Amino acid sequence: MTKPEPELTKWIDIRPWYYEKLAGTVIGNLKKNNMDGMYIPTAREARKKIFEMIEKEVPEGGVISWGGSVTLINLGILFDLQKAKKWKCINPFKDIITPNEIHVARHWMLTEGALDKSIKNWREGLQANLYLTSTNAITLKGTLVNSDGYGNRIAAMTFGPKKVYVVTGCNKIVRDLEEAFVRVRNVVAPQLVRMMGGEPKSKEEEAWYPPCSRLGRCGGEPKELRNCGHKNRACGMTTIIDQPHIPDRIFVIFIGEDLGF
């Protein structure tokens, strides 16, 4: 008599334990560096909890803005905030992104007028009561590493809005700065560029795309911080946030799932 196949669905998923332990280490180090954080096991719980936190954080009529983030879009919290109509929400991608679209914008192909409108929204968002974003990578020591093309998101993270919520899946926790740079260039940038641009419609249009969108990895050497040199690369500006001088301005919300990229 043959033994039955094991029921794989009954195997224990160890990731919740693993992610909670990782997040706990990072949160402890964030507190040493003038930042703070919390861990929420699931995206479903996080969506509800973050909304409740915002209700306490931002007075009715206050200003909320956010940076481009697949994590925030998939979480659904951005649509909850706008639907509530309790606050002035500055959507930096108004008329570019809709609930049915995951892509952020074809940044490098925006017409001059559309780009000017986006920049105006980005600048207005710097004066928000609360700014929501995710992160490209966060080290075990609590260092946030992020790259931008235009710099609107990293500008708001470093200075401007009164409070910043960084919402991240635990899949973005890395060991150290070296791993963070490799993650930004080899994991984040290729997917971000491809998501924003979609499929090139011609050979001429393809020339606008950085090499990572074709290779699926960095066209330079991330460990040595050598980039591809393409004018439209998604990693044109990079910040390292490890000890802000304004206490508790940055609050990192870890979710025990793989979110964003």
Output the CA–CA distances (angstroms, integers) from residue 42 to 56, 113, 256, in the order listed: 21, 40, 6
Q: What is the pLDDT averaged over residues 161-170?
A: 98
Q: In terms of CATH architecture, what is 34-175+238-255?
A: 3-Layer(aba) Sandwich (3.40)
Q: What is the DSSP string of 51-72?
A: HHHHHHHS-TT-EEEE---HHH
Give mean pLDDT, residues 250-255. Answer: 98
By CB atoms closer than 10 A (0-12, 13-18, 19+), residue 85 is exposed
The predicted-structure confidence for 188-241, as pLDDT tens digits, reads as follows: 999 988 887 777 777 877 788 888 888 889 888 887 778 888 888 888 899 999
pTM of the full structure? 0.88
Distance CA 256, CA 16 (A): 6
What's the pLDDT tens digit per position in 54-95? 999 999 999 999 998 999 999 999 999 999 999 999 988 765
